[in-house]
């Protein structure tokens, strides 16, 4: 047994297997494109290396794309039949991976939290737990899972900056925007390639409506984020949100065409980014030409297996935007059947509680049934976080509710919604516009 440079206790047949696992974890912390390839090489070097096998599962499930899961699940089952003599850390990684394959994200996150309590320098457990917190909308744990481990780290550790980047994002999601920015900037000082900290600081500008500062920050750091990483397209999405706040809609559309428009080869998260931006433009009344049809055409192959309610919402946006109500209605009907199933999957519960009402509300909105959209979205507006994503990402649903209430003539509810928004983000041009629209001032 040995402990690798990321604090992970491992058994390995060869030094090469440990080296590949180290490289895979480093790539995960930096969101590099080769993370999957490196995790595969670690397993190839040592097919019974427990942490490498668990990591392969983590990557498949956390991609939120179900196409990657069945082949990895089969390999993981074969591995579990053959492996023995695990360290405590390896055992917990394997158990957490198994829970993810069962669809129980909460149990997996709890197992990794227990592991980190005893081994706070296990960078893989921290990074994967952080992403599980993101997918389950647990802002407090996004912050405290990392904050609780930070005292065991220091600036001499090569991945201390990556932890600070994660902590910055958790702070931002909990509303500590200034401290989040400071923490993220400190991370960037230590490691300019930590794209998660760049992303976190971008979020702080989004939440404070300091969109000019956000654009300037991303422009200054472009060499560090606009190449060779899995967050590149998502950070361009943030850039486009700043442009929307600044009223620069045409520039946002141009960037959509250049950077965000998905193809059949795009990841599912890239399709989410595209749908989210397009729906915001739709709410603003912008004519986007044939972009909706092209976007909607990329979704059906991704939606055959119910896997992630957050993704379902963006598929329905794409269908409704393209005028493909039949595809949206079919997806809603399929998810109704899905939630009738019994099982431990976290996604079943979140689909029933928030995913379905949101998809139904979007479909009603697209059909001009604004009263119905309000009735569906109003009751769930305070627990939309349960299906994951960030405040910035989930805001698209909240804006849909605001617009539905205004169009339905539900003035009292609209004023309440806009009042809630402007009390927290008074400098947002969108919030100011809606307040003027409601007050006539």
Q: Which two tokens stand for residue 254?
A: 């141009």
So what's the pLDDT on residue 264? 80
Mean pLDDT of the 422-432 span: 94
**For residues 312 and 351, is the Cβ–Cβ distance under 8 A?**
yes
The C-alpha atoms of residue 56 and residue 207 are separated, in whole angstroms, by 34
The C-alpha atoms of residue 175 and residue 173 are separated, in whole angstroms, by 5
So what's the pLDDT on residue 4? 54
Closest to 88 in 3D by CA, of 51, 127, 53: 51
Those residues whose C-beta lies under 8 Å from the C-beta of residue 333, and which sit 6 or more positions away, are: none
Per-residue DSSP letter, 229: B
Question: Would the pLDDT of 133 be above 80?
Answer: yes
Mean pLDDT of the 339-358 span: 92
Question: Would the pLDDT of 13 be above 50?
Answer: yes
Mean pLDDT of the 349-363 span: 97
- pLDDT tens by residue, 364-377: 999 999 999 999 99
Question: Would the pLDDT of 441 be above 80?
Answer: no
Using CA atoms, how far residue 57 sits from 71, 111, 174, in Å, is 10, 15, 29
Query: Among 13-17, 31-35, 96-100, where is mean pLDDT lowest?
Result: 13-17
Mean pLDDT of the 41-69 span: 96
So what's the pLDDT on residue 263? 87
Question: Would the pLDDT of 7 be above 90?
Answer: no
Mean pLDDT of the 114-128 span: 98
**For residues 255 and 243, is the Cβ–Cβ distance under 8 A?**
yes
Question: pLDDT exceeding 70 applies to what percent of the chain?
Answer: 97
Question: Would the pLDDT of 349 be above 50?
Answer: yes
**For residues 428 and 246, is the Cβ–Cβ distance under 8 A?**
no
Question: Would the pLDDT of 214 be above 90?
Answer: yes
Banded model confidence at residue 440, pLDDT cuts 50, 70, 90:
confident
Q: What are phi and psi of 229, to 5 degrees?
A: -145, 160
So what's the pLDDT on residue 9? 54
Strand runs labelled E in 54-202: none
Per-residue DSSP letter, 32: B
The C-alpha atoms of residue 339 and residue 334 are separated, in whole angstroms, by 9
Mean pLDDT of the 285-307 span: 95
- pLDDT tens by residue, 17-28: 999 999 999 999
Tell the burial category of 264 from Cβ atoms under 10 Å away from its Cβ (0-12, 13-18, 19+). Answer: exposed
Mean pLDDT of the 283-304 span: 95
So what's the pLDDT on residue 2? 46
pTM, rounded to two decimals: 0.95
**For residues 387 and 346, is the Cβ–Cβ distance under 8 A?**
no
Question: Would the pLDDT of 150 be above 80?
Answer: yes
The C-alpha atoms of residue 121 and residue 159 are separated, in whole angstroms, by 10
So what's the pLDDT on residue 222? 98
Q: Which two tokens stand for residue 101?
A: 């394959």
Hey, which residues does 9 pair with through a beta bridge? 3
Question: Would the pLDDT of 11 be above 80?
Answer: no
Q: Which two tokens stand for residue 153?
A: 């780290």
> Taking all residues of the chain, what is their mean pLDDT, rounded to a whole number?
95
Question: Would the pLDDT of 331 be above 60?
Answer: yes
Banded model confidence at residue 343, pLDDT cuts 50, 70, 90:
confident
Mean pLDDT of the 184-202 span: 98
So what's the pLDDT on residue 10? 57
Banded model confidence at residue 5, pLDDT cuts 50, 70, 90:
low
Question: Would the pLDDT of 230 be above 70?
Answer: yes
Using CA atoms, how far residue 179 sits from 9, 198, 319, 424, in Å, is 33, 14, 39, 17
């Amino acid at each position: 047994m040995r402990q690798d440079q990321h604090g992970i206790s491992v058994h390995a047949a060869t030094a090469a297997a440990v080296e590949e696992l180290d490289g895979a974890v480093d790539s995960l912390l930096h969101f590099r494109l080769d993370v999957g390839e490196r995790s595969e090489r670690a397993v190839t070097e040592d097919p019974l290396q427990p942490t490498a096998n668990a990591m392969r599962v983590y990557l498949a499930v956390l991609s939120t794309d179900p196409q990657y899961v069945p082949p990895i699940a089969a390999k993981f089952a074969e591995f579990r039949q053959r492996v023995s003599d695990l360290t405590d850390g390896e055992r917990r990684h394997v158990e957490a991976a198994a829970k993810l394959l069962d669809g129980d994200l909460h149990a997996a996150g709890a197992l990794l939290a227990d592991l980190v309590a005893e081994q706070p320098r296990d960078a893989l457990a921290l990074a994967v737990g952080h992403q599980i917190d993101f997918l389950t909308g647990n802002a407090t744990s996004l912050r405290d899972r990392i904050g609780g481990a930070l005292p065991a780290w220091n600036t001499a550790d090569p991945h201390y900056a990556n932890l600070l980047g994660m902590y910055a994002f958790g702070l931002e999601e909990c509303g500590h925007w200034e401290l989040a920015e400071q923490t993220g900037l400190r991370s960037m000082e230590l490691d300019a390639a930590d794209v998660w900290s760049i992303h976190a600081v971008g979020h702080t500008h989004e939440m404070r409506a300091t969109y000019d500062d956000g654009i300037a920050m991303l422009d200054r750091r472009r060499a560090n984020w606009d190449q060779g990483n899995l967050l590149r397209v998502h950070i361009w999405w943030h850039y486009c949100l700043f442009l929307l706040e600044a009223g620069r809609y045409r520039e946002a559309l141009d960037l959509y065409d250049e950077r965000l428009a998905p193809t059949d080869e795009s990841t599912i998260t890239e399709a989410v980014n595209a749908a989210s931006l397009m729906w915001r433009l739709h709410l603003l009344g912008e004519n986007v030409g044939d972009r909706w049809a092209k976007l909607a055409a990329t979704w059906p192959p991704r939606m055959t297996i119910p896997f992630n309610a957050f993704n379902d919402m963006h598929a329905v946006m794409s269908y409704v935007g393209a005028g493909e109500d039949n595809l949206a209605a079919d997806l809603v009907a399929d998810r109704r059947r899905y939630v009738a199933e019994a099982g431990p999957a976290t996604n079943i519960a979140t689909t029933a509680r928030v995913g379905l009402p949101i998809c139904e509300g979007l479909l009603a909105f697209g059909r001009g049934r604004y009263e119905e959209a309000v009735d569906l979205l109003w009751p769930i507006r305070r627990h939309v976080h349960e299906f994951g994503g960030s405040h910035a990402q989930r805001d698209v649903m909240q804006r849909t509710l605001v617009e539905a209430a205004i169009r339905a003539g539900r003035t009292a509810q609209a004023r309440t919604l806009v009042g809630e928004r402007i009390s927290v983000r008074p400098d947002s041009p969108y919030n100011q516009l809606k307040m003027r629209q409601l007050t006539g001032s």
